[in-house]
Amino acid sequence: MAEQAVESEQQAETHEFQAEARQLLRLMVHSIYSDKDVFLRELLSNSSDALDKLRLESLVDKDLDVDTEDLHIQLERDPAARTLTVRDNGIGMSHDEVVGLIGTIARSGTAELLEKLKSAQETQGSDLIGQFGVGFYSAFMVADRVTVVTRKAGETVGTRWESEGEATYTIADVPDAPQGTAVTLHLKPVDTDDGMHDYTDTGVLRRIVTRYSDFLAWPIRMEVERVKKGEDGESDETVVEPETLNSMKALWARPRSEVTDAEYHEFYKHISHDWADPLETMRLQAEGTFEYQALLFLPSRAPFDLFTREAKRGVQLYVKRVFIMDDCEELMPEYLRFVKGVVDAQDLSLNVSREILQQDRQIRAMRRRLAKKVLSTVAGLVKSEESEDRDKYRTFWSQFGTCVKEGLVTDPDSRQDILDIASFDSTRSADEQTTLAEYIERMPEGQEHIYYLTGRSREMVEKSPHMEAFTSKGIEVLILTDQVDEMWVDSGAEFQGKTFRSIAKGEVDLDGDGEGDDSTDEATKEQFAGLLEWLRETLSDEVKDVRLSSRLTTSPACIVGDEGDLSPELVRIYRQLGQPLPDVKRILEINPEHALVTGLRESHATNADDPSLPEVAQLLYGTTLLAEGEELPDPHRFAQLLAGRLAAGLG
């Protein structure tokens, strides 16, 4: 340990910290990091870097006399002395490097950046850090004194650095120091209320290593006590054995040919806490100016909290195999929040924060590419001719389709990719959904639009009066019952040159082939002109227009909106979100061939002053609302009118 080299030290020199370093130490002690456990992550990362550098240097410099057979990191704990040492046999540091890298922050940044960090700390909480590398200083969160003994590979004399994290540090030469670096922490008292755990406890150390450093490429070892049966088979004896704490299995860094599906599935279950195998595994490797690797998974079932505010979302972020954060929302759009996996970046700071990620251009580029990878993977399942892939797709869409459709609103750049993989209920089949490509392939010649109708349930949509003419003519209509459908379908979306058209809005001309009897249409309009004008006046408080309908075959009337109007369901959604909207008057369309409408026309023509006719008009409007599943503006008034008409009929 570091103390063993004290006897052969030369006289120690005392130095003052650079001003910026003193400020940084004060901030560190007051928890710039939100979790004190990360000190060990930082020290282990430094050790891993040192081992990487030694391996590279030994390959470049053939004359370098170093042993690279057993490169590793060692955790040495002394509960009695309250010390923890993180030791590696890596590249080590020279005397000048110790002064330059630890005694100052000249390599880390400037006073100006430090001031920004301090300001951000005061205004945004204790989670912001990462503009420069300051990982070593995190040791002072948990230690009253830190000692570093190091010797650079190829040199004969080492260096001992020590400080209590205040204004000064001491530095001295150590002739017999081992190659590499040993950082010894003289730990503060345990205070679990303040997040200060016992960092000499094997269980605590195992937990931290597993969480933050499990996939480092180098073994992290620690000697642990184990109880074994004695040779007599009865008495127990305590033995000390080395234990490797990390798995070193960064599956995303290994070639696909070297990893089995079982290993991928086990890894997925480890990071997702799911008991089922994933539907699909996706690998991505980006090279060039910004390098990263990703291993992503599509789950086979939706989590129970998929649509709750508190749901965890996003993939895990690593930097050079070092765990940075769970549920990194910045790496995956919200509509793909169910995707699990890891992203391992090469060029990010280990201390990167969520605030910095939100502003990072490279992170945004990664987010776009990761989303595109997920969508293209699902598209491959859609287009596959293999029944197994099609089954996977159907499972995926049944579990996550509603969630994915949120992207049609929030991610316009990916709208076409999402529409490519989307499936919808339609009037063609009660059992199987259809993709838009399949819908268009079945469209009759001359059909210019993708017809749809929104509603709260399939049953309600199928029974809607708006469906009558489309059903009679065999024209397929998409049935959209998710709330998110109300949001995206009116946003100008189109697919393969076909626009989406609500059958409950505007005027519908299903005889646009020119074969309709225009003379009959004109005669009908003239015949009903008086009734239409009277209904407009009578129902002026409820509707903005009354006209003849070409979409009805069996119902007497229906309510439709203008092309640009919000649907009643969308108005309800906005109001539930606290956005009050004015009532939107719609249009009443009447069926000129229905007995109720023709009877009303005849009664109006012969006795326009009949006081019961306005009541019939109100009842016609009310029953039309009920047929659409809408709420009556005045249910009590409607019930009275209906009861009166029934009584008159019985009389």
Write out the two tokens for 427.
């009037």
The Cα 336–Cα 440 span in angstroms is 27
Residue type present at position 297: F
SS3 at position 304: coil
- Helix locations, 384-414, DSSP H: 387-404, 407-410
Bridge-partner residues for 170, per DSSP? 14, 162
- Phi, psi torsion values for 479, nearest 5 degrees: -110, 110
Write out the two tokens for 474.
């065999």
Q: Is 471 annotated as a binding residue?
A: no
SS3 at position 73: strand
> CB–CB of 337/352 below 8 Å?
no
Q: Is 322 annotated as a binding residue?
A: no
Write out the two tokens for 243.
């234990």
Q: Is 109 annotated as a binding residue?
A: yes
Q: Is 181 annotated as a binding residue?
A: yes
Whole-number Cα distances in Å, 383 to 108, 347, 414? 51, 36, 18
Question: In whole angstroms, what separates CA 606 from the centre of its chain?
Answer: 66
> CB–CB of 465/508 below 8 Å?
no
The Cα 461–Cα 136 span in angstroms is 64
Beta-carbon contacts of 26 under 8 Å, excluding residues fewer than 6 positions away, are none
> CB–CB of 367/435 below 8 Å?
no
Place of tokens 């998409």: 478
Write out the two tokens for 142.
């948990």
Q: Is 282 annotated as a binding residue?
A: no
Q: Is 203 annotated as a binding residue?
A: no
Write out the two tokens for 580.
């009050």
- The b-or-e profile of 113-150 (16+ CB within 10 A means b, else e) is ebeebeebbeeeeebbbbbbbbbbbbbbbbbebbbbbb
The Cα 602–Cα 616 span in angstroms is 13
Q: Is 93 annotated as a binding residue?
A: yes
Residue type present at position 537: E
Instruction: Give DSSP secondary structure letters for 274-285.
Output: -SSPPSEEEEEE
Question: In whole angstroms, what separates CA 221 from the centre of its chain?
Answer: 35
The Cα 473–Cα 15 span in angstroms is 91
Instruction: Give DSSP secondary structure letters for 121-134.
Output: HHHH-TT---SS--
Strands (E), 89-219: 143-151, 158-163, 168-174, 180-187
Q: Is 578 annotated as a binding residue?
A: no
- The b-or-e profile of 260-270 (16+ CB within 10 A means b, else e) is eeeebbebbbe
Total residues belonging to the chain: 651
Q: Is 46 annotated as a binding residue?
A: yes
- Half-sphere exposure in the Cβ direction for 213 (13 Å, CA): 28
Q: Is 148 annotated as a binding residue?
A: no
- The b-or-e profile of 311-339 (16+ CB within 10 A means b, else e) is eebbbbbbbbbbbbbeebbbbbbebbbbb
HEC sequence for 533-572: HHHHHHCCCCEEEEEECCCCCCCCEEEEECCCCCCHHHHH
> CB–CB of 635/556 below 8 Å?
no
> CB–CB of 180/92 below 8 Å?
yes
Strands (E), 300-428: 315-319, 322-328, 340-345, 423-426
Q: Is 96 exposed, middle or buried (0-12, 13-18, 19+ CB in 10 A)?
A: exposed
Q: Is 85 annotated as a binding residue?
A: no
Q: Is 354 annotated as a binding residue?
A: yes
Q: Is 74 annotated as a binding residue?
A: no
Q: Is 257 annotated as a binding residue?
A: no
Residue type present at position 255: P
Q: Binding site for ATP, residues?
A: 42, 46, 88, 93, 108-109, 131-136, 181, 354
Q: Binding site, residues?
A: 42, 46, 88, 93, 108-109, 131-136, 181, 354
